[in-house]
Amino acid sequence: MYESGENYLETILILANRSGNVRSIDIARELNFSKPSVSRAMGVLREDGYITINEDGYIKFTEKGRALATGIYERHNILTEFLEKVAGVSPETAEEDACRIEHYISEKTFEGIKKYMKDNQ
């Protein structure tokens, strides 16, 4: 999966946690993207088996999609916290950098950071 697909899945998860129901228009507003761009992306995520879209346009995760989105969101949160608390960067910088790093960090490195954060709470 590409970074953009992961960002869409993470956004769907955040919106679902916030309000319960998610439609393409909600994603477009949240990300400040055009509705056609989001619609194309949702089509790809649906074809790849990460989401379903019902007849009313509501987006739901498949089991595979929820697992991936949850993992991405966990990486984002832990990396943001690590960058703020350990690296000492501002919350804004930590948030932006975590968003980039979360897509490229190896599982081994992420697990090391996760363990460090757990052990040093």
Q: What is the pLDDT of residues 7-30, one digit of tens each?
A: 999 999 999 999 989 999 999 999
CB atoms within 10 A of CB 101: 18
Q: What pLDDT is attached to residue 57?
A: 95
Domain 3-67 belongs to what architecture?
A: Orthogonal Bundle (1.10)
* Full DSSP string of 20-35: S--BHHHHHHHHT--H
73: tokens are 């969101």
Q: What pLDDT is attached to residue 99?
A: 92
Q: CATH 1.10.60 occupies which residues in the chain? A: 71-119
Which SS3 state, helix, strand or coil, does residue 60 take? strand
Nearest partner of 39 among 26, 24, 51, 29, judged by Cα: 24
Which SS3 state, helix, strand or coil, does residue 112 take? helix
User: Any bridge partners for residue 61, and if so which?
Assistant: 51
Q: What pLDDT is attached to residue 121?
A: 82
Q: What is the pLDDT of residues 31-72, one digit of tens each?
A: 999 999 999 999 999 999 999 999 999 999 999 999 999 999
The CATH code of domain 71-119 reads 1.10.60
Q: What is the pLDDT of residues 75-107, one digit of tens each?
A: 999 999 999 999 999 999 999 999 999 999 999
